[in-house]
Structure 1
Amino acid sequence: MTVIAKSALAALVVAMTSSVEAAKLKNVVYYMEWAIYQRNFGIFDLDWDKITHINYAFGKPNPDGTVGIYDGWAAVQKRWPEHGDSWNDQGNSLYGNFGQGFKQKQKARGTKFGLSIGGWTLSDQFSSIASTETGRRTFAKSSVKLMLDLGLDFLDIDWEYPVEGGNDSPPVPHRPDDIKNYVLLLSAIRDEFKTLPWKAELSVASPAGPDNYRHWDFTAICGQLDFINIMTYDLAGSWSKYTD
């Protein structure tokens, strides 16, 4: 396992890897789709040359098992003329955060750009999707197609949370078999990766603290992954009895 960095714009987290070839230090950033609004922070404001993996947060799982973008304007429509976008193009060019990210990736060839699916507010469909073979296959095919359509390098699954916990609005459904089904879902994505002519990477966001990860089968989950991003901001907070 390797300790790596993860950040929501800047915050670092730890991560573990399941492959020897990926054992070098990683600097993983989660770029939040809504950062262009109140924070006015563009994906081009990241220091791409110092980052190994940029997770775009978040893709949205749909009830039918397909995966789509959440905020279409932010993701693929908004134009930044000061960063090379044109208002005169009437074709099908990619704009928005993904368009700018693709431009940055051409400059920072060592940086991988991927899609994180789910998150705190978009995890309400995971349990249902992962519970059936049809749901898992649909999710895998759709997420890999979206990855390819957007010119991305990897997928990250952020299911918050299997078995128990998570957002109350909309409420996150749970099943006792969520973890077993999670492993099967990851395996289905791996199967789709086998159809690609290049090696795509797969990661997940993992909760921190025994109350949050006590149901997780890390041996089975890690067997499907290239690395794990641990949400270390859950290690301590206002609920802590002592200052860390």
Structure 2
Amino acid sequence: MLSSLSLLVAPLLLLSTISALPQDIELGPGEDVEVLCECPEVTVTTTVWLTGPTNAPGSNSTTLAPEPLPSTASSPSITQTSSVPADQTSSPNNTTSNPSSSGYRNALYFTNWGIYGANFQPQQLPAGKITHVLYVFADIASDGEVRSSDSYADLEKHYPGDSWNDQGLNAYGCVKQLYKLKKQHRQMKTLLSIGGWTYSPKFAPVAATEAGRQRFCNSSVTLLKDWGFDGLDIDWEYPSDAKQAQDFVALLRTCREALDAYAAAHAPGYHFILTIAAPAGPQNYNTLAMESMDPLLDAWHVMAYDYAGSWDTTSGHQANLYPEPRNPQATKFSTDRAVRDYLARGVPPHKIVLGLPLYGRAFEGTKGLGQPYTGVGAGSLQAGIWLYKDLPRPGATERYDDVAKASYSFNAAAGQLVSYDTVGSAEVKAEYVVHNRLGGAVFWEASGDKNGSESLVGAVAAGMGKLETATNWLSYPVSRYENIRKGVPGE
């Protein structure tokens, strides 16, 4: 069992197949699209703020851009490798809705395998600082049935205070503990995340048929009502062509209908949440039928990490906001590029939730960013990946790239470089979320964070300000588990 858990790693972008920099979306004169900016080369149906054309490195095409950070944005007080600012010239107007009126999302992935090697238990979740927990991952059977990937972690593990003498069928494990946290923190919603990197090959055949989609969505809702969850998060990495993209739309539509049907019968007036883990690599998100998906979704959790890693020939930033024109090998991708492309495809800014890593990707035998390396070395639980709480490594100095808006640590003597977010870079990303009126932040994954003033989850929560306060749902009258059905009385 434990050996297989190591395969369930943080979602990857399949960047090894992409050798070029992200390409700009080109729109012809008079082409009608719904966008969130206005550029002289295109006709738009909705103008929210005005910004001049911006060009990505290596491209001559005009692109649609979200509003950059202001030039007065503070930078983290750690060693800077550059002082050249990114393009930060435009200003907002007040015609767009601001997520702060209802609060920002601060979501956190929590893995069921994290209770083992990382020894991170659900009681350790910073429930007061988060709005959503994405519990990962549910598995998918060949016929489309969504099922527990680890019944011991999900339902059987007894925590202190759990009785061995309860009558009837009861849920224990992480499921019970998450429900208890919901009772104590009514702003914290729980979502069942289905798929992930390891299970994603199972999506395509299931989504291709109506029978498969119905079984997938009905069984997902069954788990939701049995476990006492508030929504579903679909993590398909990734639809590979137009046919699979349309199948994904059909799958989401079927799940939306199943959630609404359950709510009508057993939770009148409550809206169960439907989200996806969304790619940040152009090769993957350009395949998606975003325009058809968006009306079905409550949020797009953009996986804005894993931009660099063991699949590359050079070291690089794994979660940079902007490209660095003078060092393109270090910033082959950028979060800002992904965000503006989602906006250009009509995704509302308040639905874009920015992903941050709670881990670092390592490079050994390198002279610095954008340079060749000889390997990835050791890691906290797997080679080349260090949990944020284990960084920086001994002998390393934390540095900040003020152009890319990205932090990393470097031990020049040992040739060891690790790319990861620090409190400083996370605060800049929180400012980016607020300034561009995005929906919030989401972190992969809970076991990697530090405590207290060094917590990235806490820093981003503070930086965004008001968090979403919409309450969770606690009534599950048809759960198969007696304690969930009764609301876990007395606890």
What TM-score results when the alignment is normalised by the length of structure 2? 0.42
Q: Distance in 2 between matches of 1:208 and 1:229?
A: 10
1:181 to 241, 247, 268: 247
Matching residue of 2:199: 122
1:1-244 superposed matches below 5 A: 24-81=103-160, 84-89=161-166, 91-163=168-240, 176-195=242-261, 196=263, 197=268, 198-237=270-309, 239=312, 240=316, 241-242=329-330, 243=369, 244=404
Q: Distance in 2 between matches of 1:39 and 1:152?
A: 24
Give identity over the alignment, percent: 42
- 8 Å CA contact 1:193, 1:200 repeated in 2: yes
Between structure 1 and structure 2, the one with the greater Rg is 2
CA 36–135 in structure 1, closer or farther in 2 if over 3 Å, else same: same
- 8 Å CA contact 1:207, 1:234 repeated in 2: no
Structure 1 residue 202: deviation in Å?
Answer: 0.2
Structure 1 residue 232: deviation in Å?
Answer: 1.1
Unaligned runs of 5+ in 1: 1-7, 9-18, 164-174
CA deviation vs aligned residue, 1:95-138 (integer Å, no higher than 9, x gap): 00111111111100110011000001111221011101111111
Partner SS for 2:239:
coil
Structure 1 residue 63: deviation in Å?
Answer: 0.8
Partner SS for 1:234:
coil
CA deviation vs aligned residue, 1:178-214 (integer Å, no higher than 9, x gap): 0000001000011112211221010000111212322
User: Which letter does structure 2 place at the counterpart of 1:118?
Assistant: G
CA 20–65 in structure 1, closer or farther in 2 if over 3 Å, else same: farther
> CA-atom RMSD, angstroms?
2.0
CA deviation vs aligned residue, 1:163-191 (integer Å, no higher than 9, x gap): 1xxxxxxxxxxx65100000010000111
Structure 1 residue 65: deviation in Å?
Answer: 1.1
Q: Distance in 1 between matches of 2:162 and 2:140?
A: 29
Partner SS for 1:156:
strand
Matching residue of 1:170: none
Unaligned runs of 5+ in 2: 1-9, 11-96, 317-328, 331-368, 370-403, 405-491
Structure 1 residue 90: deviation in Å?
Answer: 5.0
Q: Distance in 2 between matches of 1:159 and 1:68?
A: 16
Partner SS for 2:123:
helix
- 8 Å CA contact 2:242, 2:288 repeated in 1: no
Q: Distance in 1 between matches of 2:245 and 2:301?
A: 17
Q: Distance in 2 between matches of 1:34 and 1:138?
A: 26
- 8 Å CA contact 1:209, 1:234 repeated in 2: no
CA 23–227 in structure 1, closer or farther in 2 if over 3 Å, else same: farther
- 8 Å CA contact 2:155, 2:173 repeated in 1: yes
User: Which letter does structure 1 place at the counterpart of 2:141?
Assistant: N
- 8 Å CA contact 1:114, 1:154 repeated in 2: yes
Partner SS for 1:120:
helix
Q: Distance in 2 between matches of 1:236 and 1:69?
A: 31
- 8 Å CA contact 1:208, 1:234 repeated in 2: no
- 8 Å CA contact 2:239, 2:284 repeated in 1: no
- 8 Å CA contact 1:30, 1:57 repeated in 2: yes
CA deviation vs aligned residue, 1:28-71 (integer Å, no higher than 9, x gap): 11101101001110011011111101010011111111111100
User: Which letter does structure 2 place at the counterpart of 1:24?
Assistant: G
Q: Distance in 1 between matches of 2:178 and 2:189?
A: 10
User: Which letter does structure 2 place at the counterpart of 1:208?
Assistant: A
